Structure formats: structure tokens, C-alpha cells
Chain A
Amino acid sequence: MKQIAFVSGKGGTGKSTLVSSLCQLVADKMVADCDVEAPNLHLLITGEELNKADYYGAKEAVKDAAKCRKCGLCYDACRFAAISDEYEIISLNCEGCGACALVCPAEAISLEEVKTGQTYLTKTLQGTFSHALLDIGAEGSGKLVTEVRRKIFTSHEQEKWLLIDGSPGIGCVVIASITGTDAVVIVTEPTKSGVSDLERVLAAARHFQIPSFVCINKYDLNPEMAAQIEEYCRQHDCPVIGRIPFDQKVVKALQAGKTPVEAGNIQVTREIEKLWQRLTAALGA
């Protein structure tokens, strides 16, 4: 199986829009939504829930008040301001490192597993679909992404492709989404912000030595900026495999919970098909 991660650096450039379209066009694939903080793909591809589970992806210090002697050693050891002046644990700040438990002479503090999110495995017409939702404000989003990717393989299906919808940024969540993939497709838009963020996320993909490709979404909104992206990609030896035109009909389709392919714009659909052909050719598949 080959795994393809769709990322963008900048948010809102059209990752989920593109992945949901590919879901309609590509056969023999599974799908994972690794944007666990603000997942959207499940709004466009739905089906029968196979499995739903709580995910315990972090630990948190818990104090036994009866044993606490209020000596303050925990307060001194904590580097995350997670112990209050009254030596209570402030769970929102707690990283679950256990330094407080290590120094407590009364063994009043222990680490407990905490739920950080919910994972879902769904059977859809487009293939098996793994996704998750991080608990609001929780730690360990990267670990939850790894769990989403692990869970897709529990279905034991022998598909040819895994399409991964990534998240914005270049940090832990994105690293967890692209690690070990066969290719990264960076979805960008012809804006100054899009270009700036493309540069950083391409550098990140290169840092992990993953073959990278670029898709310029809404490329006709600013032809000058699109040309600048093409030039940048040429200089950095990164193939531009898609140039998707802007279409108000696509916006309307999304508002109705439909994918761009379902919007019926032949030009958009053909361009997405071409993107996939170029990608698979480049990967020798």
C-alpha cells in the first residue's frame, strides 16, 4: 500500500476539498483524516460506523489529598505551572511528565491515563475511513494522529492506497501525519500567505525526506502569484501536479455538503483526475 499525505502549511487552502474529491475518483483506497483538532472530512464522506473508541493519549498527575503534607517539593519540581500555590494540580497545565510524583516524599501523587479524544472507523462507499476528534484543549494531538493511522490497518484490507487528509502547520500533528508516507501533496493557493506557508511545509517534508508534490488550488485567482509558485517549485525541484481553477459552484457544493466532483464542474473534475494520474505516474504505480 502507498500512503499519500495531503498537507498545506496554511489552513483553508482546500486539503479536505481535494481529498474528498479523490475519494470519489480513486478506487482501491482507504482514507484517514489526520486533522484531529478540526476534522472536516466526515462531513463529506459518511457511512456505517464500524468502531468508536475513547483514546487515552496522555497522563495527568492526580493527588491524594489525605497523603499530602504540603511540603511544596512538587511545586518546585513542576516546570509547567501546573501546581497551584495551595499545591493543587491544575490539570489544564499538566503535561503528565510525573516530575511531581517523583519528588513527593509522601507518595501522594500518581500519574493517571487521561482520555484525549475519540477515534472512529467508518465503512463508507468510498472505502474504510479512520478519523478522530481531539478533546477540546487536550494534549497529545500528534499521538492521536498516530492512532488514527494505526487504526486504519486494523480493518485488514489490502487496498492500494491510503489517502491522508492532514492539518495546517508544520509541527507535531503534521509530522505525525507525514512520517513514513510515500508522498506528500502540498495544497497551496496563490496568495502571499499561501506561498510563505508552502515554503515552510515543503522544507518540513524535505527534512523527513518524503517525495513532495504541489497542487495550486484556485490558481486563476491571482495568476501572477500562481506563476511565482510555479517558479519556486521549479527552483526547488518540486513538481506541480495540479492547477485547480476557482469556481463559485464548488463553493456552493461545499455549502450543501457535497464534494467538488459532485458539483459537476467538468473542468475541476478533469484537473483532479489529471493530478492523480501525474502523482501515480511519478510514484511508479
Chain B
Amino acid sequence: MKIAVLSGKGGTGKTTVAASLAASLPACQYIDCDVEEPNGYIFLSPKLTDTVPVYVPIPEVDATKCSGCGSCAQVCQFNALAVVKGQVLVFPEICHHCGACLLACPEGAISETDREIGVIEANADNTFLHGKLKIGEPISIPIIRQLKERLHQELPVVLDCPPGASCAVVQAITGCDYCILVAEPTPFGLHDLQIAVQLVKMLQLPCGVVINKAAPDNKTVQEFCAREGVELLLEIPFSQAIAAAYSRGILPTTAYPDWQDKFRALYHKIEERVQQ
């Protein structure tokens, strides 16, 4: 079973929930798909032994064959090519690796060369994986795509997703069996939870909500869930002690082992929902 953990808003506790869930199961695979700012490693302390560069193909122009006709720049929808004084300039960072320029070149002057945009790091048995986008690179999706090629087929998989609601999140949650939406009871948290709910509904994925930093005197998220018919799965109360442990990279399930039971119960609840 593949469970995605997302939130819309950043900093609501995606990694806390995803890593706690992973740490509470007897065996599972944890994949950190927040490749811009991966944090799961801080809490799960994996021994990363396997580093694989992620390459994308970018165009390379053979100047001896190029006639400077400009067809490549014309078809490129991302302005990653320009022809200046009969010479083709390639802007590799903004290339989307689609290959349209190759198809358009009448001289067969364009080939492709590999360019590294980041790495995937994993532990020895492939139960912990994360991706790291190289500094200065804008496009993270190919790294998420390659992470998902290494999904475990037998073990439960927990995918820690990036914040937001763009194509990177779509890439991360596509093909998952269930989405956990992590929300905090603030107007910001509620606003962004609505965005996250719309996203999973658009992809027709079943979902439920975990409230982080729940406050006894604030029921806005609970009311939203009741109104929208979204299941409330678990509430993690706001606690100075949990926050202090978090700041030092310690999960609630490590600091307070009874939380392991709660996360295991969460997993079984999700398992039931998926089987239904």
C-alpha cells in the first residue's frame, strides 16, 4: 500500500507525520519526495550508502551541421534555445527535456547530452530514499519521477510530499492508494487544507486529515472535515514537549512510545479504508 502525506501549506507537520508513521510500522519504505528541502533523514537517521545522480537529457548542437535556421528555437515552448548570429544558444536550466528541438531540426544537428540536476540517496535495503535537487536548478519533477521508479512492491510505502499544490505534488501523489492531509488549526492551515482537498479530489484519491498542533479551543479543522465529508484520522495536540523534541530532530513516536500505537492504529484505519 502506498500512502502519500501532503498538506498544501508548508511547515504543518508532513514530515513529522510521515516519519512517525514509517517509524511505527514493523517494515516499510519511506520516500522523501520533497526534493527541494528534504528533512526526513533528520528524524529517521538512515545510513545512506547508495547515491545515484539524476540526469536529464538536454540538447547539444553540432555546429558543423547547424544551418542556423532557428527551427529549434521556434518550436521550444520553454525558451530554452535561442539563435544569435546564426549560432544556437542552449539555456539548460529551463529546458524541459521534451526533445521537440531534436524533432524539429531539419539538419539532424541536435543530439542529447546528460545533465545532472540532483541526486537520489538511499540506504542499503532501499527502505529509505530521498532526492536532493541541486542548488540553482528550477525543475524537480524528474527527481520525483525517478524516486517513484524505486517504489517497493511488497512493503507499505510512505511518501513525504512537497508543499504546495502544483505539478510536483501531482507527480508525488499519482498512483498512491491513500492521501493523508496534514493541517494545523490556523486560518492559513485551513485555507491551504481546502486547496489540498481539491487536489486529491481532482485526482480521485481517497483521503483523510491529521490535525497537527491541535488546540482544545479551536475546532475549525474538525468543522471543515465534517462539512466536507473528509474523515478526521488523528489529532496530535499542541505540546511544548513534542515541539522541543521536534526541534532536536526527535519524533513524537521516539519521545513518547505510546504514539507508536496511535500511528499503527492510523495505518490500520487507512488499510481498512483502502480495502473498502
Contacts and interface: CB of A to CB of B under 8 A. Distances in A.
Which of A9, A80, A96, A99 has the most B CB atoms < 10 Å from its CB? Answer: A99
B216 to A, nearest CB: 13
Residue of B10, B203, B246 with most chain A CB atoms under a 10 A cut-off: B10
A37 interface: yes
Nearest to A172: B138
B98 A192 contact: no
Given A96-B77, A173-B164, A221-B244, A103 B103 contact: yes
Interface residues of B, number: 56
B137 interface: yes
B243 to A, nearest CB: 7
Contacts, number: 180
Contact of A38 (B10, B184, B203): B10
Contacts of A98: 75, 77, 98, 100
B97 interface: yes
Instruction: From B36, B133, B135, B170, name the one whose CB has the most chain A CB atoms within 10 angstroms.
Output: B36
B191 to A, nearest CB: 6
B98 to A, nearest CB: 3
Main secondary structure of the interface of B (DSSP, over half): loop
Interface string B88-105: 000000001111100110
A137 interface: yes
Given A136-B195, A171-B139, A191 B98 contact: no
A8 B11 CA distance: 10
Interface stretch (A11-19, A236-244, A260-268): A11-19
Given A9-B37, A137-B203, A200 B135 contact: yes
Interface stretch (A24-32, A151-159, A203-211, A276-284): A203-211
B59 interface: no
Contact of B136 (A38, A102, A137, A208): A208
B222 interface: no
A221 B140 contact: no
A43 to B, nearest CB: 5
Nearest to B98: A97
B165 A38 contact: yes
A234 interface: no
B202 A136 contact: yes
B218 interface: yes
A113 B171 CA distance: 22
B139 A172 contact: yes
A79 B145 CA distance: 12
A169 B249 contact: no
Given A111-B77, A200-B135, A255-B185, A169 B163 contact: yes
Interface in A219-246: 221-222, 225
A191 B244 CA distance: 9
A40 B192 contact: yes
B203 A12 contact: no
Given A77-B103, A204-B136, A192 B37 contact: no
9 contacts: A11-B11, A43-B188, A98-B77, A138-B166, A168-B11, A171-B137, A171-B139, A191-B248, A207-B135
Interface of B: 8-12, 15, 34, 36-37, 39, 42, 75, 77-78, 96-100, 103-104, 133, 135-140, 162-170, 184-188, 191-192, 195, 198-199, 202-203, 218, 243-244, 246-249
Given A12-B184, A102-B75, 9 more contacts: A11-B9, A12-B12, A43-B187, A95-B96, A137-B202, A167-B163, A170-B135, A189-B247, A255-B187
Chain A to chain B: the 10 pairs with minimum beta-carbon distance, closest first: A11-B10, A12-B11, A97-B98, A37-B164, A172-B138, A168-B10, A169-B36, A11-B11, A192-B249, A191-B247
